[in-house]
Structure 1
Amino acid sequence: MDANQFLTIDAPALEDFGIGFTQDFGGLPVSAHVRESFAQRVEYLEQRGATVREVELDLTDAIDVDWQLRADIFATQYHREIEFFDDTFNPNVFRSYETALSTSVLAIAQARRRQKELFETVDHVFDDVDVLLCPTVSVPPFPWTSLHPSAIDGCPVDNYMAWLGLTSCLTVVGHPVTALPAGLDNGGLPVGLQCVGPMYHDWSLLGFAKCLEGHFADSAMFAAAIPDRNEILQSDARCEALGRKAAIAAAQ
């Protein structure tokens, strides 16, 4: 396959798509701030002529499935080397590895069976819509010195992956996903959308994404923000080292 062919995808009309959306996949933790920003963008697409409807879809237990399968993968990948890692290594890897050691083969098998069921649940969604929209992550950007959010709207998170539930649940089911920048929120921080398509419909999903980019570009509020390169170059070069130190301290 020639990957360059994806550079010439035409953007179809927005009206050609039946668009479903969900804010939280049936109850995943998502901050009120993210919900509001997402709703503004869905409303904008409706104003531009899109056919949009909310979809009932429960992927709440996909988070546990992801955690189990992630631990299994980490044990496979790191079991030969992990005893030689020191405390400067990513503490998240240690945490996932330790989870794997305490997980039974039966629990992993049950997670894989549930993964299949969740895949089928999502697959049926596309009997009624062409594409599914959802927020990208559960919280707005947070200080880089934090390993991960400790809470979402005051509710503690279970582990370092919990705030990524909106993406990890889609990793579990495996349908094609593209993430798009969708402007800035009221505080000047970036906002993103995830677009999910049916299996093996990557081409049409990318066409839809290109269509959305065009519509968002017409709005000063929703157009993709362009990073200020000069400001980035003037930032503190110690961020990487300080961030690693802060992450290790937070994990411990």
Structure 2
Amino acid sequence: MTATLASDTTFFTATQLAAAIREGRVSAAEAMEAQLERIAAVNPLLNAIITLDEGAARDGARAADDAIARGEAVGPLHGVPVTLKDGHATAGMRTTVGLTAWADYIPTADSTVAARLRKAGAIIIGKTNVPPRLRDLQTFNPIFGRTGNPWDVTRTPGGSSGGAAAAVAAGLAPLDIGSDAGGSIRVPAHLCGVYGFKPTQSSVPTTGSYADPPDMPRSFRLLFDIGPLARGVDDLILAHRIIAGADGLDTEVPPVATHEEPEPRLDRLRVAFAPEFPGVPTALDIAEAIAGFAGAIDIGGARVGQALPRHDFAAERALFSDFITWYSQAFQPPRENSPTLSAFLEALNQRDEFIYAWERFFDDWDVLVCPAMMCTAFHHQEMGTPIPVDGVETSYWSALSHACRFNLTGHPAVVVPIGLDREGLPIGVQLVGRRHSDMKLLAAAKALARLTDGFVRPPGL
């Protein structure tokens, strides 16, 4: 293998790298060495990977090559190095959820996600950084410090899957699995210029994947979803097919259909677009990029229209905040505003109404194209400090307002990079579909992504 090919493998997609290893165009050991060399060179600038097991990585790569030499059947990610967000338990590898109390916690068993990736042949080489308890728009914790954005290290990669998005964007790993309770996959994907997928609620088991310390009962019975971050839609499809579906342990997850859907022709797609949501601030560069993308889809032959369901977007956003507050306080002493059971059931009933409204909307449209976030990557700052949007100081948590409503309703959503703003920072678009239409939505995302430049390497790395 040439030195050029060895170097280039660090920016292969997971699908491309798996094929190259299976076909003998590169060995798993060579690809792993190239990956570890890039991590050594780039990760100190970003602090994206915070736990790395080089010995196990090399052993896994040699074992992968030996299996191919013996002619054994191999999985779809055979020999591919992957990282995991530091909220997924990995046997023998530190898993902290960003908490000092768990800084030395080493699980003895894999999460369902980790186990399924290993069964598919992936080599889990390390963990990516998160905020404490996965609760911030940025990625910083007192154990490992701050993660920088590969496009500009003075800016945030987002959170809580910020380390994951930064690692994928910077060529440190072709694939990572994040989690998303309010935008934690989609916001970092948008800010770092990569692809991300939040599936329909309860499609992927959360067994061994935490948003709380691992010794606590699970609080997020709603909102919390698990999905991949990658450098192409094919990898989102492959990863989702590997990790989705019942495991017999997470009782919220039913059997899930993961057969791959054919990529639709553009002239058979009905695409709604919304450059902004009512009452939600959106940077002009983002709104214009979405309108331009919708125009390209229209030229491509799809039926395109500017449309949104007619309901109270502010009430929908407020209801999400109520659920987050209640779940976050679930195991704390009762407070004056702690919900009664009747109030919680009323909230669930209101949630149903928003779900029905979106489902009626998707009777008429296959995909909604909308912002993933109100701005592009902002400079590192204290949690809660207002964020500038076109020069206007805007509430910190408003940054979740485009993404979080689909955690509330459980709809699947894909982020696809569509360009750069005037400062040269990535813009991602959010593609949303009907509940339980995950594979159709991913197939549509693949078709629509062909109208973009795809993944672009961050300059200077």
Q: Secondary structure at the match of 1:183?
A: strand
Quick check: 2:326–2:339 contact (8 Å CA) kept in 1?
no
Task: Work out whether 1:227 is the aligned partner of 2:448.
Answer: no
Q: Which residue of 2 aligns with 1:192?
A: 428
Q: Which residue of 1 aligns with 2:327?
A: 73
Quick check: 1:148–1:163 contact (8 Å CA) kept in 2?
no
Q: Number of paired residues?
A: 204
Task: Work out whether 1:116 is the aligned partner of 2:352.
Answer: yes
Quick check: 1:63–1:169 contact (8 Å CA) kept in 2?
yes
Q: Secondary structure at the match of 1:215?
A: coil
Q: Which residue of 2 aligns with 1:246?
A: none
* Shift in Å, 1:56: 3.0
Q: Using the alignment, how far apart are the partners of 2:420 and 2:296 within structure 1?
A: 14
* Shift in Å, 1:171: 1.0
Quick check: 2:351–2:408 contact (8 Å CA) kept in 1?
yes
Q: Using the alignment, how far apart are the partners of 2:314 and 2:407 within structure 1?
A: 13
Q: Secondary structure at the match of 1:216?
A: coil
Change (3 A) 1:117 1:155: farther
Task: Work out whether 1:3 is the aligned partner of 2:241.
Answer: yes
Task: Work out whether 1:129 is the aligned partner of 2:365.
Answer: yes
Task: Work out whether 1:38 is the aligned partner of 2:38.
Answer: no
Change (3 A) 1:24 1:131: same
* Shift in Å, 1:226: 1.9
Q: Secondary structure at the match of 1:126?
A: helix
* Shift in Å, 1:111: 2.8
* Shift in Å, 1:34: 2.0
* TM-score of the aligned structures, taking structure 1 as reference length: 0.71
Task: Look up the equivalent residue of 1:207 and give its one-letter code.
Answer: A
Quick check: 2:289–2:419 contact (8 Å CA) kept in 1?
no
Q: How does 1:55-66 map to 2 (within 5 A)?
A: 55-57=307-309, 58=311, 59-66=313-320
Quick check: 2:285–2:422 contact (8 Å CA) kept in 1?
no
Where in structure 1 are there 5+ consecutive unaligned residues?
Answer: 81-97, 218-222, 232-252
Task: Work out whether 1:163 is the aligned partner of 2:399.
Answer: yes
Quick check: 1:26–1:56 contact (8 Å CA) kept in 2?
no
Q: Using the alignment, how far apart are the partners of 1:43 and 1:148 within structure 2?
A: 36
* TM-score of the aligned structures, taking structure 2 as reference length: 0.40
Displaced runs of 4+ in structure 1, greater than 4 A?
4-9
Task: Single out whichever of 8-17 and 166-175 deviates more from structure 2.
Answer: 8-17
Q: Secondary structure at the match of 2:451?
A: helix
* Shift in Å, 1:70: 0.5
* Residues 50-93 of structure 1: CA deviation (Å, up to 9, x unaligned): 221011324232111111001111122x538xxxxxxxxxxxxx
Q: Which residue of 2 aligns with 1:50?
A: 302
Change (3 A) 1:107 1:163: farther
* Residues 190-246 of structure 1: CA deviation (Å, up to 9, x unaligned): 0111111112111110100111122213xxxxx322235x73xxxxxxxxxxxxxxx
Task: Single out whichever of 121-130 and 23-32 deviates more from structure 2.
Answer: 23-32
Name the % identity. Answer: 23
* Residues 108-128 of structure 1: CA deviation (Å, up to 9, x unaligned): 444322211111110100111
Q: How does 1:137-152 map to 2 (within 5 A)?
A: 137-147=373-383, 150-151=386-387, 152=389
Change (3 A) 1:34 1:149: farther
* Residues 157-204 of structure 1: CA deviation (Å, up to 9, x unaligned): 2xx422110001111111111111222223211011111111211111
Q: Secondary structure at the match of 1:167?
A: coil
Q: Is the radius of gyration larger for structure 1 or structure 2?
A: 2
Quick check: 1:136–1:179 contact (8 Å CA) kept in 2?
yes
Change (3 A) 1:155 1:61: farther
